[in-house]
Amino acid sequence: MALASGYLLGLLLAARDSTARVPAPAAAPPLDLAVIVPAHDEEPGIGATLESLAACEYPAAHRRTIVIADNCSDGTAARARELAVEVWKRTDPGHRGKGHALAWALERLFAEAQPPDAVVVVDADCTVSANLLEACGRHLGGGAEAIQVDYVAGNPEDSPTAALRFAGFALGDTVRFLGKERLGLSCGLVGTGMAFPRVVLERVPWTVTGLVEDGEYHMRLVQAGARAEFVPEAWVSQAVPASLKASSDQQARWEMGKAQLVRRWAPQLVGSGLRSADSVQLHAGLECFVPPQSVLALGNGAGFLAGLALRSRSLLSLSLLGILAQATFVLGGLRLVRAPACVYRALLMAPVLVANKLCLYARIVLGKGPSGWVRTERGS
């Protein structure tokens, strides 16, 4: 627990030093970009996503937007056509989920006579910054093998649960990704707001279809010698669940998928990283073992209480250092991203979050976690 807390504190310090990083050189001529929007029953919100993509600053001749209407039972396809974008309908109830949809779409896209230079993936329930495509084209043109832009929870004011999810995104994605980018490590992928050159997708085909397909593809990229770069000047924003139950259902899928990644990929990457002295692979494997903030808080607190009960000065000192490092990471990270006041107030709910996470892990250990992809309900 102390090592994990110290690691996070180190990433915060590196992140603070990375805010003045110089953008990649402009790509000339512009890359041909295909923006893929996988969508399953997203009729109410896909209009906002497509309108924000249409407002992006990028030459019209070098961009196309393709909505993958995947096993839809509503008017997602019709709504997308109203906004004058390409719609590819996919019907395969036996293979549901974004991983399957992306694999199908990429195979079809690259079979065209003139495939694009690069692919950008944006979820159908996100809005994007106006510079998203320009930033992706510029960094990919500058040699990036994979890109992840900033991922922001767009509704922290909706409820304390949504505010805590904002904190989770800010600390787990923005701050940690900034620190890893500054240290020359691979930042990771979060499934939306990510981009890849065609040559990389052909070298490392998208064949991942699990619970956290983005995390598994990141592992495959790192194993193949590639690195995902963080592009903080652009962002995607997503409304997170405002209720604790919906948020718990979403996190159960993520945590179950992460457990699968740890079992399958961590030993491989640690071993290959040690054999080849590759710090990117070694880091990607070891980072799988860093616990989430709720478990870290519980562990540090339990260590402190055990130190008191056992009258162990060394255990007390180590636990206090862990608590201090974690508190500095959380508060310093929220300050770095200029979190709104409601997020700091929501931290008072942290004990509830810890208890909820413990119940979630108990379900996973007992084999009652999710076995397949289920669309997260976020409300209106």
Q: What is the pLDDT of residues 231-268, one digit of tens each?
A: 999 999 999 988 877 666 666 766 777 888 888 899 99
User: Which residue segment(s) compose the domain that 162 sits in?
Assistant: 30-243
Work out the number of other CB atoms within 10 angstroms of the CB of residue 19.
10
pTM, two decimals, is 0.90
Q: Do the domain assignments include residue 52?
A: yes
Domain annotation covers residue 375: no
- Give the separation between CA 35 and CA 226, rounded to whole angstroms: 22
Is there a single domain that holds both residue 164 and residue 286?
no
**Same domain, residue pair 216 and 361:** no
- The percentage of residues in the chain with a pLDDT greater than 90, rounded to a whole number, is 77
* Total count of domains within the chain: 2
Assigned domain for 39 exists = yes
3-state SS, residue 149:
strand
Whether 238 and 338 map to the same domain: the answer is no
Tokens linked to 3: 């090592």
pLDDT reported for residue 360: 77
pLDDT at 72 over 80: yes
43 token code pair:
């009729």
Name the residue with tokens 């495509």: 133
What is the mean predicted confidence (pLDDT) over 310-329?
95
Q: Are residues 207 and 154 in the same domain?
A: yes
Candidates 20, 1, 5, 6; CA nearest to 336 is 20
pLDDT at 370: 60
Yes or no: say if 162 and 241 are a contact pair by the CB < 8 Å rule: yes
Nearest residue to 140 (alpha-carbon basis) of 35, 261, 239, 26: 26
Say whether both 212 and 276 belong to one domain.
Answer: no
Asked, for residue 252, whether it belongs to a domain, the answer is no
Residues 296 and 173 in one domain: no
Q: State the chain's mean pLDDT as an integer.
A: 91
The pair phi, psi for residue 121, each rounded to 5°, is -110, 125
* Same domain, residue pair 236 and 283: no
Phi-psi region of 158 (alpha: psi -120 to 50; beta: other; left: phi over 0): alpha
Q: Give a yes or no: residue 17 inside a domain.
A: no
Quick: pLDDT tens for 326-373.
999 999 999 999 999 999 999 998 888 778 777 877 777 777 666 555
pLDDT bracket for residue 203 (50, 70, 90) = very high
- Tell me if 122 sits within 8 A of 35, measured CB to CB: yes
Q: Is residue 214 domain-shared with residue 299, that is, in the same domain?
A: no
- Same domain for 185 and 323, yes or no, is no
Domain identity same for 340 and 215 = no
Examine the domain organization and report whether 213 and 331 are in the same domain: no
Q: What is the pLDDT of residues 22-48, one digit of tens each?
A: 555 665 689 999 999 999 999 999 999
Q: For residue 60, is it within any domain?
A: yes
Residues 202 and 233 in one domain: yes
In this predicted structure, what is the pLDDT of residue 380? Answer: 45
